[in-house]
């Protein structure tokens, strides 16, 4: 099975419909309370881009590189379950060089600092991403400023930028706390735990038919939502 075959069958295709040639230069937001699957979804977006041949920079705010690597290993294992061990290993060996992981302490992170580091990596010829995923942010007023900075970067560089942000407390109002940032985004989803997994509810939907999606309760992979009867 090729990378194209592996990604083409994914329900994630409905969330992130890339044009021919790769990334589009847009900003996306995944908003939720803590522990509802933000990292799992962001890792799937990263893996999907890798499978399409795009270099991915995944930034973890307030987590270690080992933590993010474990997520990639686990999600890829579930995604590639239909492959033999040898096929899965061969595909991953082609994907891994396209991925760079970066970590910031929560108190040290700013969007400007991230942009400066990215420009340095590009100037040195180390890494030039086409997709940027930033995990571990908070749905606080400062998020809008970070989104504005990274949205400009997306437009200037033709990057797809995905932000994952949590409510400040476990009972936070996702819609209210995300509202100021959603207006800057091309796509935005909220994650809501339900009986059949975690529902992806659109805060800003793509054009055309709007798919109903969920995170599988066992694997946290994106699946089509079961329609009510």
Residue ranges of domains in the chain? 3-9+25-206
Element (H, E) at 116: helix 111-123
Query: 7-11, 42-46, 106-110: which range is least confident on average?
Result: 7-11
39 vs 168, higher pLDDT: 39
Average pLDDT over residues 140-148: 93
- The answer to whether 45 and 200 have CB atoms below 8 angstroms apart is no
pLDDT score at 10: 62
- The answer to whether 129 and 135 have CB atoms below 8 angstroms apart is no
Average pLDDT over residues 86-105: 96
Average pLDDT over residues 155-164: 94
Instruction: Pick one of 3.30.365.10, 3.40.50.12280, 3.40.50.300, 3.10.250.10 as the CATH number of 3-9+25-206.
Output: 3.40.50.300
pLDDT at 171 over 90: no
> With 0-12 CB in 10 A as exposed, 13-18 as middle and 19+ as buried, what is 124?
exposed
Query: 139-148, 171-180, 220-229: which range is least confident on average?
Result: 220-229
Average pLDDT over residues 14-25: 60
Q: Please tell me the total number of residues recorded for the chain in this structure.
A: 229
Q: How many CA atoms lie within 13 A of 59 on its CB side?
A: 25
pLDDT score at 169: 74
Could you tell me the CA-to-CA distances from 70 to 23, 64, 65, 205, 213 in Å, in that order?
25, 10, 9, 30, 24
Residue recorded with tokens 């420009």: 119
pLDDT score at 209: 64
pLDDT score at 229: 35
197 vs 24, higher pLDDT: 197
pLDDT score at 228: 45
Beta bridge partners of 191: 200
224 vs 207, higher pLDDT: 224
Average pLDDT over residues 114-129: 97
Q: Give dist(CA 213, CA 226) in Å, integer.
A: 8
Q: Which pair of structure tokens corresponds to residue 198?
A: 């975690």
Q: Which pair of structure tokens corresponds to residue 54?
A: 């795009």
Average pLDDT over residues 175-181: 92
Q: Give dist(CA 127, CA 165) in Å, integer.
A: 25
Q: Give dist(CA 223, CA 213) in Å, integer.
A: 6
Q: Which pair of structure tokens corresponds to residue 84?
A: 């033999």
- The answer to whether 220 and 40 have CB atoms below 8 angstroms apart is yes
pLDDT score at 129: 97
23 vs 63, higher pLDDT: 63
pLDDT score at 16: 63
pLDDT score at 182: 95
- The answer to whether 136 and 103 have CB atoms below 8 angstroms apart is no
- Chain-centre distance for alpha carbon 215: 13
């Amino acid at each position: 099975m090729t990378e194209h075959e592996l990604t083409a069958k994914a329900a994630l295709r409905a969330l992130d419909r890339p044009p021919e040639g790769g990334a589009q230069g847009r900003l996306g937001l995944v908003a939720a309370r803590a522990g509802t699957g933000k990292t799992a979804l962001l890792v799937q977006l990263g893996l999907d881009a890798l499978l399409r041949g795009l270099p991915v920079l995944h930034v973890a705010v307030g987590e270690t590189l080992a933590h993010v690597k474990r997520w990639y290993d686990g999600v890829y294992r579930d995604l590639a379950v239909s492959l033999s061990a040898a096929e899965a290993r061969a595909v991953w060996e082609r994907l891994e060089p396209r991925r760079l992981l970066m970590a910031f302490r929560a108190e040290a992170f700013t969007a400007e600092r991230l942009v400066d580091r990215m420009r340095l990596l590009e100037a040195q010829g180390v890494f030039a991403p086409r997709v940027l995923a930033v995990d571990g942010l908070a749905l606080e007023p400062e998020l809008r400023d970070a989104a504005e900075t990274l949205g400009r970067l997306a437009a200037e560089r033709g990057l797809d930028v995905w932000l994952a942000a949590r409510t400040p407390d476990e009972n936070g109002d996702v819609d209210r706390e995300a509202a100021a940032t959603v207006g800057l985004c091309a796509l935005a989803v909220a994650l809501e735990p339900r009986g059949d997994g975690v529902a992806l509810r659109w805060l800003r939907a793509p054009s055309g038919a709007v798919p109903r999606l969920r995170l599988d309760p066992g694997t946290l992979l994106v699946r089509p939502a079961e329609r009510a009867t």
